[in-house]
Amino acid sequence: MKHFSIARLLVALSAALALPALAANETFKVSELTFKRPSGWEWVESTSSMRAAQLLVPGGKDKDGVEVIFYYFGPSGGGGTQANVERWYGQFADRKNEKSESTTVGKTKVTYVKAEGTYQSGMPGGPKTPKTNYALLGAIVEADNGAIFVKATGPVALVKSSEGEFRKMIESGLK
């Protein structure tokens, strides 16, 4: 019988445990839908039970990234589409370039939402931190088991450059 050092055993165990974790992060499930995480976007451990999934588009050295959060409240939770669009717009002071558009992917309605301005970051009812030159890219997926709300916020240029990947990620769950 071969003898392994504790260090060697720990390295082997770490590698064995890391492989499934990396594979699991390529896709993730929210309600009944499975989404594909875009390459280069980082998985973030959720800090709130309200968040079904959380990702980060890295911003580079000393720059804010884009926070991407998936919310799911069940079959009848979260309020209606228009109420959420208005609430998201309301999180921006001096907002501009606001736009919402609905489309159908497969059999599922998706409403995409955009806004720019000073984002009032913070939990509902709590203190707010104003973040200037920020943008929102959102999607409300009207899935069979209830709406999935996806909200990406960050610096305007990075949000805009992430829009194509954001849409591909949303639509990956609807195919």
In tens, the pLDDT along 126-135 reads 899 999 999 9
Indicate whether 21 belongs to any domain: no
Indicate whether 142 belongs to any domain: yes
Indicate whether 17 belongs to any domain: no
Assign residue 53 the CATH number of its domain. 3.40.1000.10
Indicate whether 58 belongs to any domain: yes
Higher pLDDT, 9 or 53: 53
Do the beta carbons of residue 137 and residue 163 sit within 8 Å?
A: yes
Indicate whether 166 belongs to any domain: yes
Do the beta carbons of residue 110 and residue 140 sit within 8 Å?
A: yes
Indicate whether 9 belongs to any domain: no
Mean pLDDT (whole number) for 98-120: 96
Q: Which residues pair with 13 in a beta bridge?
A: none
Do the beta carbons of residue 158 and residue 59 sit within 8 Å?
A: yes
The model's pLDDT over 51-66, given as tens digits with 9 standing for 90+, comes to 999 999 999 776 899 9
Interacting residues of 37 by C-beta distance below 8 A, sequence separation 6+: 25, 26, 27, 28, 43, 55, 169
* 108: containing domain: 26-172
Higher pLDDT, 28 or 175: 28
> How many distinct structural domains can be found in the chain?
1
Indicate whether 20 belongs to any domain: no
CA angle 160, 31, 145 (to 5 degrees): 105
- Which H/E stretch holds residue 36? strand 33-36
Indicate whether 2 belongs to any domain: no
